[in-house]
Amino acid sequence: MFFINRIDVLIVIYGYKANRFRYYYKFFKDLEGDMKRTGFFIVCAFFFVAAFATAAGAKDIKTGYIDVNRLVNNSDMGKAAAKEIKKLRKEKMAELDKKKAEIDDLESWIMDHKGDMDAVTKRKKLRKLADLKTEYKRMSDDAAEMIKRKNDDIVVKILSKALPLIREKAEKEGFGMIIKNADALIYVSKSVDITDDIIKELNNKLK
């Protein structure tokens, strides 16, 4: 399963106001990177959306919503990638289990022979045990990083394929604003959720 933790607002803007709102959007995107608390950014995002609606001079701006986690996880592309990641995770777990078994065997040997080992042997065995544990941690960290990188890569790849479809739908159907990953919104009506439409279009495009 893939996870996206960012909170963004995608805006489709027409006419002379585009530059002004592109500036506001960039301001909030830059601000997001410096936020220590997600809640504060969400408040800013709400103010931004309200300011956009007011400045645009339209009470009925057509708004859409994209659930990026669902887009990634439910698309054919995402499902195929999830299988690959599951296979990779299984392979890495097998390697870690093998290394863990070495550690357990050595620990058992040390416990069984702690009364009859000389100082030199004991020192060598304990050093080897420490080295095995260090190697295990390195392998574990490397595996986690590899899986995370593969996950991030497929998310970026799917979004890069989906974004032109989202823009095309926005322009064709007259959306003034499309929100993505608005997890903290109290309520999102199904009538504004265009995720399934984009998933269908993405799947058809990649057949």
The percentage of residues in the chain with a pLDDT greater than 70, rounded to a whole number, is: 69
pLDDT at 75 (0 to 100): 95
Distance of CA 123 to the CA centre of its chain: 45
Residue 100 is assigned to a structural domain of this protein? yes
Report the number of distinct structural domains present in the chain. Answer: 1
pLDDT at 188 (0 to 100): 75
Residue 61 is assigned to a structural domain of this protein? no
198 contacts 166 by C-beta, under 8 angstroms: yes
Residue 92 is assigned to a structural domain of this protein? yes
Structure-block tokens of residue 132: 């095995």
Note down the domain range covering 114: 83-152
Specify the 3-state DSSP secondary structure of 63: strand
Residue 121 is assigned to a structural domain of this protein? yes
What are the tens digits of pLDDT across the range 83-107? 999 999 999 999 999 999 999 999 9
What are the tens digits of pLDDT across the range 118-136? 999 999 999 999 999 999 9
Residue 135 is assigned to a structural domain of this protein? yes
- pLDDT of 25 above 60: no
φ, ψ for residue 101 (rounded to 5)? -65, -40
Helix 18-34 crosses helix 38-55 at what angle (to 10 degrees)? 170
Measured from the Cβ of residue 44, the count of other Cβ atoms closer than 10 Å reads 15
In terms of average pLDDT, the best of 3-7, 33-37, 61-65 is 61-65
Rounded distance between C-alpha atoms, residue 110 and residue 126, angstroms: 8
Residue 137 is assigned to a structural domain of this protein? yes
Residue 204 is assigned to a structural domain of this protein? no
Higher-pLDDT residue of 199 and 18 is: 199
- State mean pLDDT over 170-179: 89
pLDDT at 1 (0 to 100): 57
- Tell me if the pTM is above 0.75: no
Mind giving me the DSSP string for 183-195? TT-S---GGGB-H
- pLDDT of 11 above 70: no
The percentage of residues in the chain with a pLDDT greater than 90, rounded to a whole number, is: 54
pLDDT at 14 (0 to 100): 33
Residue 31 is assigned to a structural domain of this protein? no
